[in-house]
């Protein structure tokens, strides 16, 4: 088994680079490549595919995983994906029930039990792929506030810290949404969530009923309401009790088109993408992820 490990040494829970590297080298045939700047993980993942590697492992946070996914997406049938969660959020790792420790994750990777996972393609002014959650509107504003310094200082509370800072900038988006080529839905909203996984923002269950292998996307819309109601919805979202709220529209679809005025920036697994109209499409079971039994 060839194991190609892409590690972000600046990920939130990497205390000592040498110690982390030593643990990761316990994997059979491990080759470790450390990222230094944005885009490195995607480039390394593309190299892994071209070299005919059997397994590519993202050792880092959700952003590192997202870059790796974009590196292999067009050739996902040729390589397996593993994850060692080393970030501050580790939201997709929660959905997969991965443990926190590197040692336990290495045991899972050694066992090499895989499960199919849906891949999501988003098309706007570019094409990008993701496996967890894309959030637009208010979430995009929060992501602009979420600097590396805040992540380092606040850790798992970084998103809440940035959300509080962004709250005064809460605004309405006149949005047209089409589900599976159906009748357009027009709503005024402040946030739109397109989810494959269940968690975002460091463990918040934004899509508590989502399944990563059902071939469907969970759409959660937070409607424009008075500030007091939006704050209440946000509080309910922290414990996954928001889907029944009158301020929420919840739908499922294989394909979702979103067009808003003003344009809505989307935070896609931690990475900001275009504020142009976007089309989200699920590619059912396109990935093979190494997971616990």
Q: Is residue 226 part of a domain?
A: yes
One domain, residues 206 and 105: no
55-60 and 266-268: which strand pairing?
unpaired
Within a 10 A sphere around the Cβ of 122, how many other Cβ atoms? 21
Q: Do 135 and 106 sit in the same domain of this protein?
A: no
Residue 87 and residue 205 in one domain: no
pLDDT at 175: 96
The predicted pLDDT at position 9 comes to: 87
Across 25-41, average pLDDT: 92
More reliable by pLDDT, 227 or 150 = 227
123: left (phi over 0), alpha (psi -120 to 50) or beta: beta
Same domain, 97 and 140: no
What is the pLDDT, as a whole number, of residue 145? 56
pLDDT at 210 over 90: yes
102 and 161 fall within a common domain: no
pLDDT-based confidence at residue 142 (cuts at 50, 70, 90): low
Within this chain, do residues 154 and 204 fall inside the same structural domain, yes or no? yes
Based on the fold, state whether residues 138 and 251 are members of the same structural domain: yes
Number of domains in the chain: 2
DSSP output for 113-148: -EEEEEEEEEESSSEEEESSEEEEEHHHHHHHH--H
Res 65: pLDDT = 96
Note whether 131 and 269 are same-domain residues.
yes
pLDDT of residue 159: 54
Specify if 121 maps to a domain: no
Residue 20 included in any domain: yes
Domain that holds residue 88: 3-112
Mean pLDDT across the stretch 226-236?
A: 82
Q: Which is more confident, 230 or 24? A: 24
Q: What is the pTM of this model?
A: 0.88
Average of pLDDT values for 12-23?
78
* The predicted structure's pLDDT at residue 86: 92
Is 290 a member of any domain? no
Give me the pLDDT at residue 134, please: 94
Question: Is 33 among the domain residues?
Answer: yes
Residue 201 has pLDDT above 90, yes or no: no
Position 166 pLDDT exceeds 70: no
On whether both 164 and 254 belong to a single domain, the answer is yes
Residues 85-110: b if buried by 16+ CB within 10 A, e if exposed = bbbbbbbbbbbbebeeebeebbebbe
CATH code of residue 67 = 3.40.50.10330
Domain CATH number, residue 267: 2.60.200.40
Pairing relation of β-strands 30-34 and 80-85?
unpaired
Mean pLDDT of the chain: 88
Per residue in 79-106, pLDDT tens? 999 999 998 889 999 999 999 899 999 9
* Pair (144, 101) in one structural domain: no
Residue 244 within a domain: yes
CB 166 within 8 A of CB 154: no
For residues 95 and 131, state if they share a domain.
Answer: no
Query: What's the confidence (pLDDT) of residue 228?
Result: 81
Section 204-223 average pLDDT: 96
DSSP assignment of the chain: --EEEEE-TTSTT---HHHHHHHHTTSTTEEEEE--STTHHHHHHHHHHHTT-SEEEEEE-HHHHHHHHHHHGGGGGG-EEEEEE-SS--HHHHHTT--SSHHHHHHHHHHT-EEEEEEEEEESSSEEEESSEEEEEHHHHHHHH--HHHHHHHGGGHHHHHHHHHGGG---EEEEEEETT---EEEEEEEEEEESSS-BTTTB-SSTT--TTSS-EEEEEEE---HHHHHHHHHHHTTT--TTSTTEEEEEESEEEEEEES---EEETTEEE-SS-EEEEEEEEEEEEE---
Last residue of a domain, one of 112, 136, 163: 112
**Based on the number of CB atoms within 10 Å of its own CB, is 13 exposed (0-12), middle (13-18) or buried (19 or more)?**
middle
Instruction: Tell me if 289 is assigned to some domain.
Output: no
Domain boundary residue among 112, 137, 155?
112
Domain-ending residue, one of 86, 112, 138: 112
| 273-288 residue pLDDT tens | 878 899 999 999 999 9
Compute the average pLDDT of residues 245-269. 93
Question: What would the two tokens of residue 175 be?
Answer: 């949005």
State the pLDDT confidence band at 158, using cuts at 50, 70 and 90: low
User: Is residue 271 situated within a structural domain?
Assistant: yes
One domain, residues 40 and 135:
no
């Amino acid at each position: 088994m060839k194991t190609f490990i892409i590690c972000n040494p600046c990920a939130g829970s990497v205390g000592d680079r040498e110690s982390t590297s030593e643990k990761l080298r316990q994997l059979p045939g491990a080759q470790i490549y450390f990222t230094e700047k944005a885009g490195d993980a995607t480039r390394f993942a593309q190299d892994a595919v071209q070299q005919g590697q059997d397994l590519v492992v993202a050792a880092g946070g959700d952003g590192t995983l997202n870059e790796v996914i974009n590196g292999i997406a067009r050739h996902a049938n040729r390589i397996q994906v593993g994850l060692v969660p080393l970030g501050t959020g580790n939201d997709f790792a929660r959905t997969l029930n991965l443990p926190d420790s590197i040692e336990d994750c290495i045991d899972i990777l050694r066992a090499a039990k895989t499960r199919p996972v849906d891949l999501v393609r988003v098309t706007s002014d570019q094409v990008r792929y993701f496996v967890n959650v894309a959030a637009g509107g208010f979430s995009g504003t929060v992501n602009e506030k979420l600097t590396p310094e805040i992540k380092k200082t606040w850790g798992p509370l970084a998103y809440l810290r940035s959300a509080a800072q962004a709250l005064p900038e809460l605004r309405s988006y006149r949005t047209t949404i089409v589900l599976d080529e159906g009748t357009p839905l027009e709503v005024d909203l402040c946030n739109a969530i397109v989810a494959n996984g269940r968690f975002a923002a460091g463990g918040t269950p934004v899509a508590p009923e989502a399944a990563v292998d059902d071939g469907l996307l969970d759409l959660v819309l937070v409607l424009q309401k008075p500030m007091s109601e939006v704050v209440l919805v946000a509080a309910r979202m922290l414990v996954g009790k928001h889907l029944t709220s009158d301020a929420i529209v919840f739908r499922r679809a294989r394909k979702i088109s979103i067009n808003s005025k003003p344009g809505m920036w989307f935070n896609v697994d931690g990475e900001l993408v275009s504020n142009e109209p976007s089309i989200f499409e699920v590619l059912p079971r396109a990935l093979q992820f190494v997971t616990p039994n």
